[in-house]
Amino acid sequence: MVAQPDSDVLWARALTHAHNGSPALRGVSIGVREGEILAVSGPRGSGKTTLLRCLSGQFRPQEGEVWFNSTPVHTMAPLIRERLRRDRFGWIDPEPVLVPELTAWENAALPLMLRGAGRRAAKKAALEWLERLDIGAGARKRPHALLHSERQRVVVARALAGTPTVLFADEPTAPLHRAERAHVLRTLATAARSHGITVVLATHDADTAELADRTVTLLDGRQVNTIHLPHASEAEGRTACSLSV
Amino acid sequence: MLALRLARGALPTVQLRRLLVTAASGGTGFLLLCVLGHALTHPEAPAQSALRLAWCAVPLAATVYFAVTVARTDPGTRPRPGLSAIGLGPGRLMAVSALTTALCSVLGSLLALVLFLYLRGEPARAPFEGDAARSLAPGVPLPLPAALTLLSLVPASMSLAVALTLRPVGQGRWRALAAGRGPLGTRRAGAGGKRRADTAGTAVPGRGRRTEAARHASRRHARTGARRGGNGSHALSTVLDSRDPAFAPADAPGADQDPYASGTPRNAPGGLPWGVAVLALGLMVEAYASRSDSPSGLVVPGGFANGSAGVLAGWLLTALGLVLAGPALTHLCGWLLQAVQPGALRLLAGRVLQEEARRIGRPLGVLCAVASGAFTLGTVYSGTSGTRSSVGPFTVLGGLLVIGCTALTLAIVATEARDSRAHTTAALVRIGAPATMLRSAALLRAGALLALFGPLTLAVAALAAAPLAG
C-alpha cells in the first residue's frame, strides 16, 4: 500500500458500493488535500453522490477504506461517525432541505447549537453568514416564505456557519439560476479559501467544475481521466424527425 | 380483487392496523349481539334494551373513528403516481379504501357472531353458566335477520365514514356554502381539489385559471376563518371538517411541488376559549343535574348509580370541550417548550409540536375525554360500593374498546406525524444531528404533553366525579 501524502486530509482507496445490488461505485480511489476545492464531476448516475456519502461517513462502503486525518472512517462506530459529521463535516444537499418549523437564522445556527455552542454565539455566526450570502433580510422568515434560491443560500450558510474541516456539497447549485449560481459558488469558494475549508463539490456542470482546484471525473462508478461519451450523430434521426416543408 | 391484492401486499405494520380494525369491529359487533341477547331475555323491558343499544353508540363511534384514521393513514391506498397513470385516481382509491375497511370489519363481525354463537352453546353444547352468560340468551332461538342487521351496522357505518372522509372533492359542501358559493359550482375546485388533480396527473390546462381563482377564494376563506379565530363556527367547523389540510394525505408523492408549502405555518388553533367554555358548561350542567334530579331516567348498563340525562349531557359537553381545546392546548404546550432562549433540543421539540398541534391535538383531546370519563366511572363505582355497583363484563368490554380505539388512534396519528417529517429528519441526520437528540426531542414532546394533559384530565375527572360521589 502506498502511503498517502501528509497533506491529504481525506482519502479513500478502492471504494466499492452498491445500492441494493445495483453498483454505484467500482473501485474509486481519491485523495483530498487540505484546503483545496475538489470537484467530482460526471453525468447523472455516475456515482458522485454515493462517493460523497461514503466519504462523509453516511454510507459505510462495502469495500475499500476512507481515512480522515489518519483516522479510519470506514470502521468507525455509527455514533462516532455521527459526531464526526457534526463536528468536522458540512453537507449541502442538491435540494434545500431546511427544518420548516424554524426560521432561517435558526436553521443556519442549528449545526452550531447541535455542537453545544451557546445560543447567542450560534445566532451571531448564523446571522453573519446569512448577511454574507445576501439573505440577512430574510433571517427571521420561515423557509416557506423564502424563494427557492434563498433557501439554498440558507443551506449554504448553515453548512458554512459551523466552519467545518471538510464541506461536502452535492450539486449545491442545481436548483439555482445562473446568476445566483455564480454568486453562491463565489461565496462558497471565498469562504472556503479564507477559512481554510476543504470542499468536495459534486457537479455535472463544467462551469462549476472550473472553480475547483482539481477535478476528478467519474463515469459509471469508475474514475476516468477523460470522458468520451458517444455523441449522437447529427444527421441521423434529425432528418427523420424534421418537418417536411 | 384489486383491493384484495393491494391489501395483501401491504407492510406488516399496516396489516397489524387492519387486524386491530377487525378486532375493534368484532368487539363492537359482539356488544351489539349482547344487546340483542338482552332484548331476547327481557321482552318485558324494551326501554332498557333500547338504552343499552344507545350506549353501544359510544364504542361504535370510537371504532369508526379508529377505522377512519387507519384508512386515512394507509400508505397503500394513498394516491400514487404509478397508479393514477393507469387511471386509478383518488376516486377509485377511495372505493378501494372503503372496500378494504369493509372487508376487515365484516371479518370482525363474523368472528363476533361465531364467538357469540359459541358462548351461547349453539352447535349443540352446553352454554356457559353465570350472570353474564344470561345476557347471551342461551336457549332462546336467535332471530338471524335481526342479528345480521345489527352486525351489518358496524361495517356499513365504517365503510361509509371512510368513503366520506376520503372522497375526492375539494371542499365539502358545507364549506362551500359557508364561503358563499353554490353547493355544486366549484365542487372539484379549491385547494384540495387542485392538489388531488395535480396528484392524479390530470392537470387540464383549460381548467388552470378557474382552479387558481378558486384557490384564491379558498385562501381568502381560510384567512377569514383564521381571523375569526376562536369563534364557534370556526372551532366547530374544524372539529367537523375532516378535510382539514392536516388530515389530507399531505405526503402523497407529487402532492406539492413546493415541499415547504405544506409546512406553511398556520395560525394557532383557536379552539381554546370555546373548549374551556363548553367544558365549564358541561361540568356545571352535570353538577346541577346531579343535585336536583331524581335518580331515574337513563342508567348506565351494569347499574351505574344515579345517572340521569342531565349528568349525561354534562359529560358529553365536558368531552366535547376537551376535544375542542385539544389542538390549542397542544399548541400552547409546544409554545411553552420553546419559549425562553431555547437550545437545539427545545427548539426542535417545541416548534414541531406547535406545527403538529392540529394533527395530534384532536385525538389527544378525545383520549383525554375518554380517560377522564373512565376515571369518573371508576370513582363513582368505587364510591358506591354496595347495591348495584359491580361493573358488568359488557361494560368493561365497551370501556376497553373505547379506550383502546382512542389510544390506538392517537398512536397512529403520532406515527403519521413522524412519517410526514421523515424527509426533514433525514436531512438533520445528514448534517450530523445525533439520533439520541432526535429521540429525546420526541420524548420531551411526549413528556410535555403528559405534563399538561395528565393533570388536566385528572382535574376534569375529579370535578366531574365530585357531584356524583357526594
The answer to whether residues B322 and B458 belong to one domain is: yes
Query: Rg (Cα) of chain A, in Å, rounded?
Result: 20
Q: In residues, how long is chain A?
A: 245
**Which pLDDT value is given to residue B333?**
92
Q: Decide: helix, strand or coil at residue B376.
A: helix
Of B258, B351, B437, the CB nearest to A101: B351
- Residues A144, B437: C-beta atoms closer than 8 Å: no
User: In terms of domains, do B11 and B137 share one?
Assistant: yes
Q: Tell whether B155 and B286 lie within a shared domain.
A: no
Residues B156 and B276 in one domain: no
Between the CA atoms of B181, B182, B185 and B187, what dihedral angle is there, to the nearest 10 degrees?
80
Q: Picking from A178-182, B123-127, B272-276, B348-352, which range would have the lowest pLDDT averaged per residue?
A: B123-127
pLDDT-derived band at A5 (thresholds 50, 70, 90) equals: low
Residue among A99, A112, A152 with most chain B CBs within 10 A, to mutate = A99
Check residues A207 and B278 and name the one with the higher pLDDT. B278
Residues of B in contact with A101 (CB under 8 A): 263, 265, 348, 351-352, 354-355
**Torsion (CA) B65, B453, B285, B240 in degrees, nearest 10:** -30
Do B20 and B141 sit in the same domain of this protein? yes
- For residues B326 and B452, state if they share a domain: yes
Give residue B192's pLDDT. Answer: 38
Q: What is the rounded distance in angstroms from the CA atom of residue B84 to the CA atom of residue A241? A: 31
- Give me B324's grid cell: 375542542
Find the CB nearest A58 among B355, B430, B433.
B430
* Cα–Cα dist B225/B179, whole Å: 10
Domain for residue B353, yes or no?
Answer: yes
Over range B126-150, report the average pLDDT. 75
Mean predicted confidence (pLDDT) in A26-42: 89
Asked if residue B327 lies in contact with residue B271, where contact means CB atoms within 8 angstroms, the answer is yes
pLDDT digits (tens, 9 = 90+) for A95-139: 888 888 888 999 999 888 888 888 889 999 999 999 988 888 988
Mean pLDDT on B269-285:
86
Q: Which of the residue ranges A83-92, B76-85, B250-259, B379-388 has the most confident prediction, judged by mean pLDDT? A: A83-92
Q: Does a structural domain hold residue B108? A: yes
B259 with A95: Cβ contact below 8 A: yes
CA distance A236 to chain B (A): 32
Is B355's CB within 8 Å of A100's CB?
A: yes
In a domain, B182, yes or no: no
Q: What percent of chain B has pLDDT over 90?
A: 24
Specify whether B292 is located in the same domain as B417.
yes
pLDDT tens-digit map of B301-332:
544 444 567 778 888 899 999 999 999 999 99
- As given in the structure block, the three cell numbers for residue B409 are 388512534
Q: Is residue B446 domain-resident? A: yes
Please say whether the beta carbons of A63 and A75 come within 8 A: no
* Model pLDDT, residue B234: 32
- pLDDT tens per residue across span B384-395: 554 444 567 788
**Same domain for B300 and B153:** no
Q: Give the minimum alpha-carbon distance from B117 to chain A in angstroms, rounded to a whole number.
A: 51
For the cut 50, the answer to whether the pLDDT of residue B239 exceeds it is no
**Cα–Cα distance measured from residue B271 to residue B353, given in angstroms and rounded to the nearest whole number:** 17
pLDDT at A239: 54
Q: What is the pLDDT of residue B390?
A: 59
- pLDDT band, very low/low/confident/very high, at B246 (cuts 50, 70, 90): very low
Closest B-chain CA to A122: B343
- From the list B23, B72, B17, the residue with the least C-alpha distance to B248 is B72
Distance, C-alpha A208 to centroid of its chain = 12
Question: Is the pLDDT reported for residue B156 higher than 90?
Answer: yes
The yes-or-no verdict on residue A76 having pLDDT over 90 is no
Assigned domain for B125 exists:
yes
In terms of domains, do B425 and B292 share one?
A: yes
Please check whether residues B12 and B130 belong to one and the same domain: yes
> Measured between beta carbons, which residues in chain B are less than 8 angstroms from residue A159?
431
Residue A228, pLDDT score:
57
Total tally of structural domains belonging to chain B: 2
With bands split at pLDDT 50, 70 and 90, how would you rate the model's confidence at B191? Answer: very low
Would the CB atoms of B263 and A144 count as touching at under 8 Å?
Answer: yes
- State the cell numbers at A241: 424527425
Chain A interface test: which of B335, B351, B431 (most A C-beta within 10 Å): B431
C-alpha span between B23 and B423 (Å, rounded): 33
In a domain, B237, yes or no: no
DSSP B154-187: HHHHHHHHHHHHT---SS-HHHHHHTT--TTTTT
The reported pLDDT for the residue numbered B342 is 86
At B262 the pLDDT is 54
HEC per residue, chain A: CCCCCCCEEEEEEEEEEEECCEEEEEEEEEEEECCCEEEEECCCCCCHHHHHHHHCCCCCCCEEEEEECCEECCCCCHHHHHHHHHHCEEEECCCCCCCCCCCHHHHHHHHHHHCCCCHHHHHHHHHHHHHHCCCHHHCCCCHHHCCHHHHHHHHHHHHHHCCCCEEEEECCCCCCCHHHHHHHHHHHHHHHHHHCCEEEEEECCHHHHHCCCEEEEEECCEEECCCCCCCCCCCCCHHHHCCCC
Domain's final residue, options B105, B130, B165 = B165
From CA A134, how far away is CA A17, in angstroms rounded?
39
Residue B183 lies in a domain: no
Say if CB A186 and CB A153 are below 8 A apart. Answer: no
Select the more confidently predicted residue: A28 or B307.
A28
CB contacts of A148 in chain B (<8 Å) are 258
* Domain termination residue (choose one: B108, B136, B165): B165
B303 with B440, same domain?
Answer: yes
Nearest Cα neighbor of A200 from A164, A154, A226 is A164
A58 contact B CB<8A: yes
Lowest mean pLDDT among A209-218, B161-170, B415-424: B161-170
C-alpha span between A224 and A47 (Å, rounded): 12
Cβ contacts below 8 Å, chain A against chain B, sum to: 86
Confidence of residue A241 (pLDDT cuts 50, 70, 90): low
Measure the N-to-C terminal CA separation of chain A; round to a whole number of Å: 66
Q: B-chain residues within 8 Å CB-CB of A83?
A: 432, 434
Q: pLDDT, tens digit, for every residue of A51-65?
A: 999 998 888 888 898
Q: How confident is the model at residue A236 (pLDDT cuts 50, 70, 90)?
A: low
> Rounded to whole angstroms, how far apart are CA atoms B377 and B312?
12
- Residue B437: closest C-alpha in chain A: A114
Q: Are B352 and B421 in contact (CB under 8 A)?
A: yes
**Least confident interval from B85-94, B130-139, B243-252:** B243-252
Given a cut of 60, is residue B268 above it in pLDDT? Answer: yes
Establish if B33 belongs to a structural domain. yes
Of B120, B138, B165, the one marking the end of a domain is: B165
Nearest CB neighbour to B423, from listed A82, A97, A102: A97
Please determine, for the modelled complex, whether the ipTM score is greater than 0.90: no
Predicted confidence at residue B255, as pLDDT, reads: 40
pLDDT above 60 (res A92): yes
Q: A201-210, B334-343, B433-442: which range is least confident on average?
A: A201-210
Q: Which of B263, B341, B430 sits opposite A91 (nearest CB)?
A: B430
Whether residues B286 and B142 fall in one domain: no
Average pLDDT over residues B287-312: 57
Q: Which chain B positions have a beta carbon within 8 Å of A167's beta carbon?
A: none
pLDDT confidence bin for B109, thresholds 50/70/90 = very high
CA distance from start to end of chain B: 59
Q: What range defines the domain where residue B76 resides?
A: 2-165
Q: How far is CA A206 from CA A130, A215, B110, B441, B466, in A?
A: 27, 10, 67, 43, 77
Residue B210: what pLDDT?
Answer: 38
pLDDT, mean over chain B: 74
Report the candidate in B432, B428, B273, B449 with the shortest Cα–Cα distance to residue B350.
Answer: B449
